[in-house]
């Protein structure tokens, strides 16, 4: 085995450099997190009653293990405070801390052995060790998230341990980097290493956006998921609030009005889906066939402008035409505003939505149409094909992929695309029933009634159904048309 690897090394020298890079990645990641776990806060104690938060690093947790679990921290203007961590929980935290030095030693030994014997199996073993480390970090995070062991708060009140001690995001960041380290070492090859060196600047540019996505998108999703299973109280905060299982979800679907809310959401979302697909598609085809370039640019500019108006401005414009003294009311010879008429409410909502987004919706279609070869239309004209036949047999098939892509995206957001922001501005006392969709229900029930846990549960339900619909629609599209998002 060693001889064949050495022979490969002599032939081109690439395999050894890649193996070396893999080994050093594991050692570097383990070293960084070994230092961080000792000096960065990994567990916190939040005293909501006195607005004081204590953060403890790995050294604090190891010291507490040999001092009966006592952890000290300082409150501004209060002085030194002490809280006792349950022995079992302290042991889990200490093992979590000690794991990183152990990981560093293991990775170093495997790296040395790889340098000595140049075996691929050693690199795979190191990636498995890193993957196990990522799993252990997640376990430690979950233990502190769910620990029901009795613990005393600073006030002496006995509570569940998860209401006294909270895990910091460090554990999730460590799990992410260890998992990436394992994945890189398992999947990277000499050929991929060459591409990595070639496109390294591009990958470096991606680092900051990916970090921002993780911090401002992925982590909030995790917090919302936790919130959906909590009986959230503002005074207790997210982690100090009590777990209530699926009570929030039960409350949602036990609500007798919920079926109507979901029905309204689906109905309005489907109307907006049709309104957001067909008019922009027809306008795109019209503009594409328009031979007068100056006229085309003027029309495009005019229909693009409303997209940049906020819904507040759109509502102001609509109200100016539709209030009791507006132009439409005068033409209809009525003293009642159509905005307050339940029979006209959804029509106004959909029409204003089309007007606002019509031009912006044509951008992708126009980009797709620009890639159609003009020779196809010229050949069709020579064969006697009329405008309608050219649209059906050339234009629509040429942009079918972008149409399907947009439909998949929009269907995935079917429970979130009812236009909650617009409905909140347009509704009135007489039309509130028509404007009751999931997004408006979340505001009226979740925020105004301070039912944040129920609101988070509904948002989680929305997201879960949306993700399921995206997968189902994408799978159906690939089977029927051979076109999909991935």
pLDDT at 174 over 90: yes
Please say whether the beta carbons of 408 and 470 come within 8 A: yes
* Amino acid 138: pLDDT: 94
Residues 209-242 have pLDDT tens digits of 888 888 888 888 888 889 999 988 877 778 888 8
* Amino acid 268: pLDDT: 92
Q: Are strands 165-167 and 43-47 parallel, antiparallel or unpaired?
A: antiparallel
More confident residue, 60 or 194: 60
The region of weakest confidence among 123-132, 136-145, 266-275 is 123-132
**98-102 average pLDDT score:** 93
Looking at the DSSP bridge assignments, the partners of residue 159 are 151
Matching CATH number, 249-480, of 1.10.3720.10, 1.10.287.130, 2.60.40.10, 3.40.190.10: 1.10.3720.10
For residue 416, which of 440, 435, 394, 381 has the smallest C-alpha distance? 440
pLDDT at 10 over 50: no
Residues 12-23 have pLDDT tens digits of 444 445 667 777
Please say whether the beta carbons of 398 and 369 come within 8 A: yes
Please say whether the beta carbons of 53 and 37 come within 8 A: no
pLDDT at 444 over 70: yes
* Amino acid 11: pLDDT: 40
For residue 432, which of 255, 264, 253 has the smallest C-alpha distance? 264
* Average pLDDT along the chain: 83
Matching CATH number, 2-198, of 1.20.140.150, 1.20.1260.10, 3.90.550.10, 1.10.10.10: 1.20.140.150
pLDDT at 325 over 70: yes
pLDDT at 3 over 60: no
For residue 357, which of 414, 314, 413 has the smallest C-alpha distance? 314
Residues 349-382 have pLDDT tens digits of 999 999 999 988 888 888 888 888 888 888 888 8
Count CB-CB contacts under 10 A for residue 293: 8
Domain ranges of the chain: 2-198, 208-243, 249-480
Q: Which helix (H) or strand (E) holds 263?
A: helix 258-289
- Paired tokens of 138: 């997640």
DSSP 147-215: ---EEE-TTS-EEEGGGTEEE-THHHHHHHHHHHHHHHHHH--HHHHHHHHHTHHHHHHHHHHHHHHII
**189-195 average pLDDT score:** 73
For residue 1, which of 117, 157, 158, 87 has the smallest C-alpha distance? 117
């Amino acid at each position: 085995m060693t001889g064949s690897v050495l022979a490969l090394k002599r032939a081109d020298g690439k395999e050894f450099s890649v193996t070396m890079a893999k080994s050093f990645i594991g050692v570097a990641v383990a070293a960084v997190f070994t230092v961080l776990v000792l000096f960065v806060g990994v567990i916190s104690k939040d005293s909501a009653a006195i607005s004081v938060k204590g953060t403890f690093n790995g050294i604090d947790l190891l010291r507490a293990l040999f001092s009966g679990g006592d952890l000290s921290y300082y409150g501004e203007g209060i002085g030194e405070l002490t809280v006792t961590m349950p022995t079992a929980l302290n042991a889990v935290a200490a093992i979590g801390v000690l794991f990183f030095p152990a990981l560093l030693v293991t990775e170093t030994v495997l790296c040395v052995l790889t340098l000595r014997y140049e075996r691929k199996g050693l690199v795979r073993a190191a990636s498995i060790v890193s993957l196990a480390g990522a799993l252990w970090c997640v376990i430690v995070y979950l233990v502190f998230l769910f620990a029901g062991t009795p613990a005393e708060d600073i006030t002496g009140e006995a509570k569940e341990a998860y209401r006294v001690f909270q895990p910091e995001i460090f554990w999730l960041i460590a799990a992410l980097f260890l998992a990436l380290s394992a994945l890189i070492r398992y999947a990277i090859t000499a050929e991929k290493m060459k591409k990595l060196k070639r496109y390294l600047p591009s990958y470096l540019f991606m680092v900051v956006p990916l970090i921002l996505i993780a911090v401002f998108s992925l982590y909030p999703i995790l917090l919302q998921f936790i919130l959906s299973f909590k009986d959230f109280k503002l005074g207790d905060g997210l982690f100090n609030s009590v777990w209530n299982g699926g009570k929030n979800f039960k409350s949602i679907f036990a609500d007798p009005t919920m079926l109507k809310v979901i029905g309204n959401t689906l109905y309005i979302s489907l109307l907006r889906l049709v309104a957001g697909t067909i008019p922009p598609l027809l306008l795109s085809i019209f503009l594409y066939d328009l031979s007068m370039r100056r006229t085309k640019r003027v029309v495009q500019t005019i229909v693009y402008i409303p997209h940049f108006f906020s819904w507040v401005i759109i509502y102001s414009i609509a109200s100016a035409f539709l209030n009791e003294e507006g132009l439409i009311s005068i033409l209809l010879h009525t003293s009642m505003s159509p905005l307050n008429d339940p029979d006209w409410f959804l029509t106004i909502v959909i029409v204003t939505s089309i007007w606002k987004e019509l031009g912006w919706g044509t951008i992708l279609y126009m980009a797709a149409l620009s890639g159609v070869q003009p020779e196809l239309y010229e050949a069709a004209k020579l064969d006697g094909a009329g405008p309608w036949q050219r649209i059906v047999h050339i234009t629509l098939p040429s942009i079918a992929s972008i149409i399907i892509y947009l439909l998949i995206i929009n269907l995935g957001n079917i429970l979130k695309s009812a236009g909650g922001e617009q409905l909140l501005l347009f509704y009135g006392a007489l039309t509130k029933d028509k404007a009751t969709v999931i997004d408006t229900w979340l505001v009226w029930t979740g925020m105004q009634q301070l039912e944040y846990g129920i609101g988070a549960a509904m948002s989680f339900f929305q997201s879960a159904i949306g993700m399921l619909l995206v997968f189902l629609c994408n799978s159906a599209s690939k089977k029927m048309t051979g076109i999909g998002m991935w």
